[in-house]
């Protein structure tokens, strides 16, 4: 379902075993592609503008654009987190990490919650010249970020 690029923000393949999910930025400048392995449904590969994102890390089946520059995907959280435990969905864990791909630098960084951060449904938002990580939508709506990071300067 979903039309071709330029008509909406994404495309979802409902007909093949690969479960392809494509997310476009406004104006189709950048695209993120998720492909699920039909022989191992727990494995999802992600590419942004042709660059592999967080290879070898368990990633969610879809992600989102935070502005035009950052693509964000929830990832498995640390097994040694004090509040970590198995759950249905959410990659099988209740504490999650975030893989953040910067299209300007063609780099990905993994943001992992510290022992004092309880990221059950983490959300990244670009706010001016900072990246704000919220534990969940409730924390985002309340304006309570767990972590605030500077936006790295784009290469010249």
Residue 134 inside a domain? The answer is no
Residue 100 inside a domain? The answer is yes
Residue 39 inside a domain? The answer is yes
- State the pLDDT at residue 61: 87
Q: How far apart are CA 86 and CA 34, in angstroms?
A: 24
Q: Which residues of the chain have pLDDT under 70?
A: 1-9, 11, 41, 90
Overall domain count for the chain: 1
- Whether the CB-CB separation of 118 and 135 falls below 8 Å is answered with yes
- Is-above-0.85 flag for pTM? yes
What are the angstrom distances between the C-alpha of 92 and each of 76, 81, 96, 152? 8, 14, 9, 31
- State the pLDDT at residue 20: 85
- State the pLDDT at residue 28: 82
* Span 13-27, pLDDT tens digits: 777 777 788 888 877
Token pair 């919220």: residue: 134
Which stretches does DSSP call E strand in 15-119? 21-24, 31-37, 40-48, 51-53, 64-66, 70-76, 96-102, 107-111
Q: Put residue 65 in one of left, alpha, beta given phi > 0 → left and psi -120 to 50 → alpha.
A: beta
- State the pLDDT at residue 2: 43
Residue 4 inside a domain? The answer is no
- State the pLDDT at residue 145: 98
Q: Which domain does 27 fall in, by range?
A: 10-112
């Amino acid at each position: 379902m979903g039309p071709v690029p330029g008509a909406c923000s994404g495309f979802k393949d409902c007909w093949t075993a690969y479960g392809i999910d494509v997310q476009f930025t406004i104006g189709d400048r950048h695209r993120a592609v998720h492909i699920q392995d039909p022989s191992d449904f727990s494995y999802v590969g992600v590419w942004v503008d042709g660059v592999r994102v967080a290879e070898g890390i368990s990633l969610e089946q879809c992600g989102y654009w935070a502005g035009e520059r950052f693509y964000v995907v929830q990832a498995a959280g640390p097994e040694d987190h004090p509040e970590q435990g198995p759950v249905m969905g959410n990659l099988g864990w209740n504490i999650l990490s975030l893989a953040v791909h910067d299209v300007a630098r063609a780099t990905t960084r993994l943001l992992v919650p510290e022992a004092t951060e309880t990221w059950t449904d983490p959300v990244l938002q670009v706010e001016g010249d900072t990246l704000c990580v919220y534990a969940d939508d409730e924390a985002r709506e309340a304006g309570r970020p767990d972590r605030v990071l500077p936006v790295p300067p784009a290469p010249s």
